[in-house]
Chain A
Amino acid sequence: MRTRRRVRRRALVTGVTLALVLAIGAGPAFACGGLVSPNGTIQLVRTTTMAAYHDGLEHYVTGFDFEGGGAEFGSIVPLPANPIRIVRGGDWTLQRLELEVNPPEPVGVSAPLATGAVSGEAAVIQEKDIDSLHLTVVKGGAFGVGKWATDHGFLLPPDAPAVLDFYAKRSPYFMAVQFDAKRAQARGESIGDAVPIHLVMRTRQPWVPLRILGLGARSNAPIRADVFLLTDRAPNMLPVPAGVIGSGPAAPGLRQERSEAASSFLLQQLGSDRGMGWVPRSGMWLTFLSLDARAGQLTYDLALNVDGGAPSRVDAGIGPSFGRRAGPPALVWAVAAAVALFMAMTAVAVRQGRVGTRSPA
Chain B
Amino acid sequence: MTPPRGRRAGGRGTRRRRPALVLAAVALLAVSGTACSRASAEGRSHLTVEVTIHHSAFQPSSFSFRRGTSVTFVIRNTDPIEHEFIVGDQAVQYYMEHTAHPRHDGSVPGQISVPPGATRTTTYTFTDVTHRTSDMQFACHLPGHFRYGMHGPITVTA
Given the contacts A337-B30, A354-B13, A150 and B23 also touching, CB distance less than 8 Å: no
B87 beta carbon closer than 8 Å to chain A: no
Question: When chains A and B are docked, how far (Å) is the Cα of A348 from the Cα of B56?
Answer: 44
A324 to B149, CA, bound (A): 14
Query: In whole angstroms, what is the CA distance A142 to B147 when docked?
Result: 23
User: Which residues of the other chain, B, contact A165 by a CB distance below 8 angstroms?
Assistant: 55
The total of chain B residues at the interface (CB under 8 A) is 32
Complex Cα spacing A162 to B13, Å: 50
For residue B108, CB closer than 8 A to chain A, the reply is no
Residues of A within 8 A of B3 (CB): none
Contact: B116 with A343, CB < 8 Å?
no
Contact of A333 (CB < 8 Å), options: B19, B33, B54, B145: B33
For the complex formed, measure the closest distance between the CB of A163 and the CB atoms of chain B, giving whole angstroms: 9
A337 to B23, CA, bound (A): 9
Q: Which residue of A lies closest to B143 (CB)?
A: A40
Complex partner residue of A159 from B17, B117, B143, B148, CB under 8 angstroms? B148
Tell whether, in the assembled complex, residue A161 and residue B55 are in contact, meaning their CB atoms are under 8 Å apart.
yes
B106 within 8 Å of A (CB atoms): no
Tell me which of B16, B19, B81 contacts A161 (CB under 8 A). B81
With both chains docked as a complex, state the minimum distance between the C-beta of A142 and any C-beta of chain B, in angstroms: 7
Complex: how many Å from CA A150 to CA B116?
9
A270 to chain B, nearest CB (A): 39
Is B16 in contact with A351, judged by CB distance below 8 angstroms?
yes
Tell me which residues across on chain A come within 8 A of B55, comparing CB atoms.
161-162, 165, 324
A330 touches B37 (CB 8 A): yes
Q: Are B143 and A160 in contact (CB-based, < 8 A)? A: no
B80 contacts the other chain (CB 8 A): yes
Evaluate contact between B56 and A147: CB separation under 8 angstroms: no
The answer, yes or no, to whether A293 is at the interface (CB within 8 Å) is: no
* B37, closest chain A residue (CB): A330
Cβ-defined contact, B26 with A340, below 8 A: yes
A159 to B55, CA, bound (A): 7
Interface residues of A in 318-361 (CB under 8 A from B): 324, 326, 330, 333-334, 336-338, 340-341, 343-344, 347-348, 350-351, 354-355
Q: Render B113-149 as a binary contact track against A, CB cut-off 8 A, 1 for contact.
A: 0001100000000000000000000000011110110
Indicate if B82 sits at the interface (CB-CB under 8 A): yes
Contact between chains at B79 and A146 (CB < 8 Å): yes
Tell me whether A50 is interfacial, beta carbon within 8 Å.
no
Picked from A326, A336, A350, the residue with its CB within 8 Å of the CB of B30 is A336
Contact yes or no, A343 B23, CB < 8 A: yes
Measured CA separation A195–B16 after assembly (Å):
72
Contact of A351 among B20, B26, B143 (CB under 8 A): B20
Q: Any chain B CB within 8 A of the CB of A156?
A: yes
Between A158, A162, A330, A334, the greatest number of chain B beta carbons within 10 A of the residue's beta carbon is seen for A158
Which residues does chain A contribute within 8 Å of B20, judged by CB atoms? 344, 347-348, 351
Interface check A214, CB cutoff 8 A: no
Q: Mark B16-40, 1 if CB is under 8 A from A, else 0.
A: 1101110110110011011001000
Known pairs A164-B80, A218-B147, A347-B16 / 17 extra A-B pairs, C-beta < 8 Å: A40-B143, A40-B144, A142-B80, A143-B116, A143-B117, A147-B80, A149-B80, A158-B144, A161-B56, A161-B80, A216-B144, A333-B33, A333-B34, A337-B27, A347-B19, A348-B17, A351-B16
